[in-house]
Structure 1
């Protein structure tokens, strides 16, 4: 990445949205990266430099994660996060994109496809969340208890970043100090992110239903790790059935964190995907 790389903040709905934007000197296609739960733009650190060779690239910190705001005034539903992405693209004057969403970011990408199909030329879903229901009522009610965010903080601390990474990465030798620090850092600043996560418990609706997914006509490439413990391959295969214009690729010896584990392979699949026709149905 060179002088075309910039960082920015966009204020929307009383919250600052952090994004990184690489403007390619000649490319016309723009790729938008949407990370997963408890993650940030950091999770695309190995994939983004590859994409920058051929595309304009925008990587967004979905609130309350990364360097984006964590205010409790924001509505942390998947639909509203999708609307935030849409408004950011409108702010930047971008009329058509390829969305690449990992885990929760994949579900946000699907919501964008559902809400604004004309905005999304293609979508790449990396171990995308799918078919999750809304949190159960007792948990939602508990989130209104004063200082409940401290319970959320203790729960995350008890699991630990290294344990979480070992759960999402198949090859544990990839886990080093840089990775540990990068995923831990956003949670060490203050308590605001835990307040945001508490609000997310109340705001987050369920994932798109099969009926809604079947209305999406955007060409979708699904890429999955065969050893994904967070979103099993069966979810990907089910999405393949409900998304009428889609195909699925399963990566061997790979876990959930595919942008970290297989960036070069994913990049090649994305390049090939850009050359496909509008229909992937076989």
Structure 2
């Protein structure tokens, strides 16, 4: 049994709006809570290479499956936007009674985390985001990756129906990972299981349809008003969200620093978990 299997609970469900179940797992029993938000076409299992490295007596990690992903509900509605996801996260934080916490967000989860921080920074929030970690985060309008464009097209449902799952996953992982040796059989099969889950195809399509790149235009100015400390981690070889966008984000966030991992792709926490963990824990321990 691995460290992560030993330290993680079997999972819990948070009920949102009476109809949506949000699945989450906890790691550790420490006094400092950290909420982890995964990226698109992923789930809370994306953190399993890194989560077990956090000292259990120092931190409590909440690894959450966003609506439509992992073991969370995948209702056939249209409420899959960044704002919709952020509202669920705010409700989760309140339900857990977290008055002060840090958030780690990857890709789509980073965009959701930014939106939560923007709302919390308006002065009337019952909780405080003390620190934010953004990993290869979505934050600006950009040309969508090819996979997104295919899902967004009218032929998206047919594409998902006809494309063999193993071929789909292989192509996605080869784009995400710079070091192809990290595409292990265990990781490959984990993503296969995810893509074969009930309701996944609809949730992927609904998310792509709801996440409008132009929506970022309306929040860019808000980045400059955020006052909390931010650590930005970026894989230098990210093909989905280019490093130039991470550098731009550092310029827009007044209290931020950028850690670039050379020869690393879109998922540093999976491809280089120990380096990513080291950067995060050093940042969180700073007074």
TM-score > 0.5 by shorter chain: yes
Other-structure match for 1:103: 107
Confirm whether residue 181 of structure 1 aligns to residue 181 of structure 2. no
Count of paired positions:
269
Structure 1 contact 21–58 (Cα < 8 Å) conserved: yes
Counterpart secondary structure, 2:191: helix
TM score, norm. by length of structure 2: 0.85
Query: Residues of 1 paired with 2:69 and 2:25: CA distance?
Result: 14
Distance (whole Å) between structure 2 residues aligned to residue 33 and residue 90 of structure 1:
16
Q: Which moved more, 1:166-175 or 1:5-14?
A: 5-14
* Aligned counterparts of 2:107 and 2:143: Cα–Cα separation in 1: 16
List aligned pairs for 1:83-162, cutoff 5 A: 83-117=87-121, 118-132=127-141, 149-154=157-162, 157=165, 160-162=168-170
- Please provide the CA RMSD for this pair: 2.6
Please say if residues 65 and 71 of structure 2, whose CA atoms lie closer than 8 Å, have aligned partners that are also in contact. Answer: yes
Instruction: Please name the residue that 2:38 is paired with.
Output: 35
Give 1:196 shift. 2.1
Do the aligned partners of 2:165 and 2:196 also contact (CA within 8 Å) in 1?
A: no
Counterparts of 1:143 and 1:131, CA distance in 2:
18
Offset at 1:158? Answer: 8.8
The answer to which of 110-119 and 28-37 deviates more is 110-119
Worse-superposed segment, 208-217 or 9-18: 208-217
Match status 1:203 vs 2:210: yes
TM-score by length of 1: 0.86
C-alpha displacement of 1:269: 1.2
C-alpha separation in 2, matches of 1:201 and 1:163 = 18
Deviation at 1:197, TM superposition (A): 2.5
Asked whether the 8 Å contact 2:237–2:263 carries over to 1, the reply is yes
Alpha-carbon separation, structure 2, partners of 1:113 and 1:44: 21
Instruction: Tell me the residue number matched to 2:179.
Output: 171
CA shift in 2, pair 1:52/1:132, >3 Å:
farther
Cα distance change, pair 46–243 in 1 and its aligned pair in 2 (3 A): same
Q: Report the CA distance between 1:92 and its aligned residue.
A: 1.3
Aligned to 2:26: 21
Q: CA deviation at 1:30?
A: 0.6
Structure 2: 5+ residue runs without aligned partners?
A: 122-126
Alignment of 1:68-87 (within 5 A): 68-73=72-77, 75-87=79-91
**Would the aligned equivalents of 2:78 and 2:210 in 1 still touch at CA under 8 Å?**
no
Matches within 5 A, 1:208-247: 209-247=219-257
Q: Which whole-Å CA distance do the structure 2 matches of 1:167 and 1:204 have between them? A: 21
Query: Residues 127 and 43 of structure 1: is their aligned pair in 2 closer, same or farther, counting only changes over 3 Å?
Result: same
Q: 1:55 maps to which residue?
A: 59
Q: Does the 8 Å contact 1:133/1:207 carry over to 2?
A: no
Alpha-carbon contact 1:222-1:247 (below 8 Å) kept: yes
* Partner Cα separation in structure 2 for residue 154 and residue 108 of structure 1: 31
